[in-house]
């Protein structure tokens, strides 16, 4: 099944890799910064058709469209373009993210950045790979680690909390980056490129694939209060290598 999902995702990647100007194809969703392009819609329609051919009985939860409760045993959880703001601005740092979850637990995950030709993949219990080669988190401690985080652009009521947490963690790590695509942030920890990531609120399609890839690469990912992720509902995320996940203790005061 993993290889079949990979083939579908790679084909979807070809739909966006050569696109450089989408200025005439942008529609606002909840606000002027929460946007969707015709490519998000087209890629999701392609993934819906192709993935459900692999498993017709599965449910489908995608970023674009209605979001109801999932009643099926198996569910595809899909972000057709993770990092749409990057895509709109031609940053070359976006990805297609697909997870296949069973009863709310990700069993397969694929995250593909077609601009770099990097495909991260994992099957539960089988380890994680980048372009077919095994990957593992780094062993860097916090003082030598790099922190990634999202922002609260879509959830402004969380802004004060977010920046208080970022300031606290910044004092404990070596440096900071903000890249703008949550699934790739998780995969970069998995590949040993960075060590810590947090975000106060993410959606299922942001985390379902990347969290499995990170876990299979030896990392740890939870909600910010330390409880397990919920890949079928919105939740906070704190992810790190084994040496840095203890930093979660330093942010608990901000969660009350």
CATH number at residue 214: 3.40.190.80
Q: What is the mean pLDDT of residues 99-128?
A: 98
- Grouping H, G, I as helix, E, B as strand and the rest as coil, residue 87 is helix
Number of domain units in the chain: 2
Residues 53 and 172 grouped into a single domain? no
How many Å apart are CA 217 and CA 103, to the nearest integer?
22
Average pLDDT over residues 44-67: 93
Residue 168 and residue 105 share a domain = no
* 111/198 same-domain check: no
Please give the average per-residue pLDDT across 89-94, as a whole number.
Answer: 94
Which carries the bigger pLDDT value, residue 69 or residue 49?
Answer: 49
Q: Is the whole-model pTM more than 0.85?
A: yes
pLDDT of 151: 80
Q: What is the DSSP letter of 63?
A: S
One domain for residues 18 and 127 = yes
Pick the most confident of 89-93, 137-141, 230-234: 137-141
State the residue range of the domain holding 74.
2-134
Residue 125's CATH number: 3.30.540.10
Question: Where does the pLDDT of residue 34 fall: very low under 50, low under 70, confident under 90, or very high at 90 and above?
Answer: low
59 and 158: one domain? no
| Phi–psi pair at 159, nearest 5 degrees | -60, -50
| 149 and 124, same domain (yes or no) | no
Task: Look at residue 19 in the predicted model and tell me its pLDDT.
Answer: 85
Q: Which residues pair with 61 in a beta bridge?
A: 77
Residue with tokens 């909390």: 161
């Amino acid at each position: 099944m993993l290889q079949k999902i990979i083939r579908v995702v790679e084909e979807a990647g070809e739909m966006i890799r050569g696109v450089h100007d989408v200025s005439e194809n942008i529609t606002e969703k909840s606000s002027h910064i929460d946007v969707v392009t015709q490519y998000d819609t087209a890629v999701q329609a392609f993934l819906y058709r192709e993935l459900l051919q692999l498993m017709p009985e599965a449910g489908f939860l995608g970023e674009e469209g209605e979001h109801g409760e999932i009643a099926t045993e198996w569910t595809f959880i899909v972000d057709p373009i993770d990092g749409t703001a990057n895509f709109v601005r031609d940053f070359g740092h976006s990805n297609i993210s697909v997870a296949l979850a069973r009863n709310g637990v990700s069993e397969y995950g694929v995250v593909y950045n077609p601009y770099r030709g990097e495909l991260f993949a994992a099957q539960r219990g089988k380890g994680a790979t980048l372009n077919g080669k095994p990957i593992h988190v780094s062993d860097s401690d916090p003082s030598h680690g790099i922190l990634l985080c999202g922002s609260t652009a879509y959830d402004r009521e969380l802004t004060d909390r977010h920046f208080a947490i970022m300031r606290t963690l910044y004092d404990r790590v070596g440096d900071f980056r903000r890249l703008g695509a949550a699934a790739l942030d998780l995969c970069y920890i998995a590949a040993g490129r960075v060590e810590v990531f947090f975000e106060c609120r993410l959606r299922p399609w942001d985390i379902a694939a990347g969290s499995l890839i990170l876990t299979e690469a030896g990392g740890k990912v939870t909600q910010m209060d330390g409880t397990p992720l919920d890949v079928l509902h919105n939740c906070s995320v704190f992810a790190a290598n084994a040496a840095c996940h203890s930093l979660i203790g330093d942010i608990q005061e901000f969660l009350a």
